[in-house]
Amino acid sequence: MSAISAAQQLGVSLRRCGAAEARQLFKTVETVYRGSYVEAIASGNLFNSVEAFMTRFESYSARPGLDLVIAYHDNEPIGQTWGWPLPKNSRWWDGLKTKPEANFTDEDAQRTFALSEIMVTQEWTGKGVAHALHDALLSARRERRATLLVRPTNPARRAYEHWGWNKAGQLQPDWEDAPVFDVMIKELSNSD
What's residue 123's pLDDT? 96
Whole-model pTM?
A: 0.92
What's residue 178's pLDDT? 80
What's residue 177's pLDDT? 72
Nearest alpha-carbon partner for 170 in 118, 103, 116, 95: 95
What's residue 179's pLDDT? 86
Q: Burial of 72 by CB count in 10 Å (0-12 exposed, 13-18 middle, 19+ buried)?
A: middle
10-residue mean pLDDT profile of the chain (192 residues): values are 94 95 94 95 91 93 92 98 95 90 93 96 96 97 97 93 96 84 92 55
Q: At what angle do helices 26-36 and 50-60 cross, to 10 degrees?
A: 140
Fold designation for 3-187? Aminopeptidase (3.40.630)
Whole-number Å distance between alpha carbons of 160 and 167: 10
Whole-number Å distance between alpha carbons of 72 and 79: 7
